Amino acid sequence: MNFTVHSFPAKMGFGAEERSNYANVIFADLKNLSVDGPGVSRETYGAGETAAMKYCAELAEKEGLSSWYDEAANLVVELPGQDKSAPFIICGSHLDSVPQGGNFDGAAGVVAGLIVLVRMKREGRVPPISIRVMALRGEESAWFGQCYLGSRALFGQLTKTDIERPHRTSGKTLKSYMQGVSANIEKIVSGEPLMNASSIAAYLELHIEQGPVMVARDMPVAVVTGLRGNIRHQNIICEGEAGHAGAVPRWLRHDAVLATADLLHRYDDHWAALQERGLDLVLTTGILSTNSNDHAMSRIPGQCNFSIEIRSQSIDTLEAFYQLLRSEAESVEKERGVKFKFDERSLAAPALLDQGWIDHLLKCCKENNLNS
């Protein structure tokens, strides 16, 4: 891929209008690097993500900032502080996207961090401690069925099973993709942390709102208090029995699609009941398909593939709903004469954010007359 960096002439100041124009150019360039139909596709550890990282690295270097790739192939940009031995602040996000996703998802946090460092560099400011902007690899689970790959690798949490996960379209392993961008596979597989957590003073991330709540409440910004954890299955197979649509009566059918629909309907009913009790829970089936090689309008489907993602701020709610999910699957199997085959489950635990930072950010919003 060919790309160019548009860098504005250095000035004594870096006013709001100039910063806005600067950001617009960056976002336009990132979009042009990875445009794919109605959105952008920056696949995890793939060409789109890598091109976006190279672009940001070149921009940082042109502004006099240092940049490098860590052993998990995450991009790091740094403005050194007065005390270079002190724990540093990280500001960042991710640059990969879901297929045909939004250009601002993840990239907004990286670009915001870069503009902060560019402004400080241009104005000659030296912070008390170093500030790093990080573009983390592999936030999205859409490509390998696992999320947070770059950060998991940093802290020794990628397993041998994880790195053997196949890409959604190519079938090649995550390991091969990581090797392609010079990640240190030996250390990652061994579970050796690539970064000392005690060297981080704080991690801050700006992210675009991906739902309607803030818009409905007319809130320009909001402070996140916690992150939902998730349990995911990328590919569950419902195996039934194929048959002629005109020859098999209902009582002898083992329809994989109807069995899957029955199961999903039960999940939805349980979700509604739990929400009425005030429990935090969201449930999504983002992939649902029959076999394109043999499906037909006049054929009873013998197989159906689908995904499941459960999210909650409570690990107890996640685990309880998951066990309910498996129990209902067994019931549908008995009633409809089908079999559900679950691939490996992935788990990301929920997390609460630091109350001190929450309070500080709310104070900043108030001081800047921002409704949050």
Which strands make up the sheet holding 75-79, listed edge to edge?
66-69, 75-79, 131-136, 88-94, 200-204
In tens, the pLDDT along 178-227 reads 999 999 999 999 999 999 999 999 999 999 998 888 999 999 999 999 89
pLDDT on residue 58: 96
Query: Per-residue confidence at 10, pLDDT binned at 50, 70, 90?
Result: low
| Residue 79, CA distances (Å) to 94, 112, 281, 313 in order | 19, 14, 40, 34
Query: Per-residue confidence at 231, pLDDT binned at 50, 70, 90?
Result: very high
pLDDT on residue 3: 58
Global pTM?
A: 0.84
In tens, the pLDDT along 155-176 reads 999 988 899 999 989 999 999 9
Q: Is the pLDDT of residue 7 over 70?
A: no
Other CB atoms within 10 A of residue 305 CB: 18
Contact 194, 319 (CB under 8 A): no
The β-bridge partners of 90 are 132, 203
User: Would you mind telling me the total number of residues written for the chain in this entry?
Assistant: 372
Strand, coil or helix: 255: coil
pLDDT on residue 263: 98
Name the pairing type of β-strands 88-94 and 200-204: parallel
Mean pLDDT value across the chain: 93
β strands within the chain, DSSP E = 35-36, 39-40, 66-69, 75-79, 88-94, 131-136, 200-204, 226-227, 229-239, 243-244, 282-284, 288-290, 299-300, 303-312, 339-342, 346-348, 351-352
In tens, the pLDDT along 82-139 reads 999 999 999 999 999 999 999 999 999 999 999 999 999 999 999 999 999 999 999 9
The DSSP secondary structure of 328-372, one letter per residue, reads HHHHHHHHHT-EEEE---EEE--EEPPHHHHHHHHHHHHHTT---
Domains of the chain plus CATH, in order, are 16-208 (3.40.630.10), 229-348 (3.30.70.360)
Query: Per-residue confidence at 262, pLDDT binned at 50, 70, 90?
Result: very high
The secondary structure of residue 173, as a DSSP letter, is: B
